[in-house]
């Protein structure tokens, strides 16, 4: 199965993708994670992307589509893909169709996480991850079971994303409204969109996604 998780910043794409990975052995393809890895490694892509990401704007379609194609080639044909944060523009949606067709894959479902924008700033500014294993947390909604210790690996160091400040989040939301939301009608026309209440708690969102994928 190949699916897209679509929704504004903080909607819960990464949180839900991780659950699908754990439960079904699917593979999470997050262009945001790939770009952050490139920034950290100071590759040419990373050097070009850093300032754009820090402003909350979108990196070029060519760069992200190339990253997705490379990741798909690196994983086995039998593993299902969860596209997290990709596609984000009409051009990326067209590229994804070509990328999948060239690899004999089809797009089975688009999950739109519907959220109330006012709640997103709180979600994003409270977010942090384990510096060692990358597990995600939230200060209020999903803190580690033992404060200061990662549930998954026992690590004690945590980090925050440089673009997780209120000003950048507002730009990221505006980019979503202007460039990403308009691609939904394309998938609606194919009858493959499931709309899910992303304001419910994480377990309920996960259960709703499971039933959308089963149905
Ligand atoms: P990216 O990394 O994709 O960021 P984003 O779309 O802004 O989304 P987030 O990762 O912030 O949110 P999420 O939906 O994953 O939420 P999460 O699950 O963490 O992109 C970053 C940047 O990279 C872009 O701005 C752009 O510059 C560039 N980029 C990336 N892809 C690109 C592309 N295709 N084209 C061009 N540029 C691209 O949840 C957030 C928090 O809320 C967490 O703390 C979590 O614990 C909590 N939470 C989650 N669900 C719930 C819930 N149901 N209830 C309460 N709390 C919850
Ligand atoms: Mg994410």
Q: Token pair for residue 71?
A: 């990741």
> Is 19 known to be catalytic?
no
Which residues have CB under 6 Å of ligand 1?
7, 9-15, 31-32, 35, 52-53, 56-59, 64, 85-86, 88, 92, 123-124, 126-127, 136, 138, 141-142, 163, 172, 201-202, 205
**For ligand 1, mutation pick of 85, 119, 179, 200 (most atoms within 8 Å of CB):** 85
Instruction: Tell me the ligand closest to 128's alpha carbon.
Output: 1
Q: What is the pLDDT of residue 9?
A: 96
Q: What is the pTM of this model?
A: 0.96
Q: Token pair for residue 163?
A: 């673009």
Q: Token pair for residue 65?
A: 């589509």
Ranges of residues in the chain whose predicted pLDDT is under 50: none
Are 3 and 196 a contacting pair, CB within 8 Å? Answer: no
DSSP string, 110-178: EEEEE--HHHHHHHHHTEEEETTT--EEETTTB--SBTTB-TTT----EE--TT-SHHHHHHHHHHIII
Q: What is the pLDDT of residue 69?
A: 97
> Is 161 known to be catalytic?
yes
């Amino acid at each position: 199965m190949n699916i897209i998780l679509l929704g504004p910043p903080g909607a819960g794409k990464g949180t839900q993708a991780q659950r699908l990975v754990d439960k079904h052995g699917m593979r999470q393809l997050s262009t945001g994670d790939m770009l952050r890895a490139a920034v950290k490694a100071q590759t040419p892509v990373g050097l070009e992307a850093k300032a754009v990401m820090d402003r909350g704007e979108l990196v070029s379609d060519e760069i992200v589509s190339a990253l997705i194609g490379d990741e798909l080639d690196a994983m086995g044909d039998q593993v299902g893909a969860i596209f997290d944060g990709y596609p984000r523009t009409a051009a990326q949606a067209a590229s994804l169709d070509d990328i999948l067709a060239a690899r004999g894959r089809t797009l089975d479902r688009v999950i739109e996480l519907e959220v109330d924008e006012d709640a997103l700033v709180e979600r994003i500014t409270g977010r942090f991850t384990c510096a060692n294993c990358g597990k995600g947390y939230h200060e209020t909604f999903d803190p580690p079971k033992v404060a200061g210790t990662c549930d998954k690996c026992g690590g004690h160091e945590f980090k925050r994303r440089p673009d997780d400040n209120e000003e950048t989040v507002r730009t990221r939301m505006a980019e979503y409204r202007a460039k990403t939301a308009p691609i939904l009608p394309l998938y609606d026309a194919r009858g493959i969109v499931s709309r899910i209440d992303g304001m419910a708690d994480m377990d309920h969102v996960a259960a709703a996604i499971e039933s959308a994928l089963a149905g």
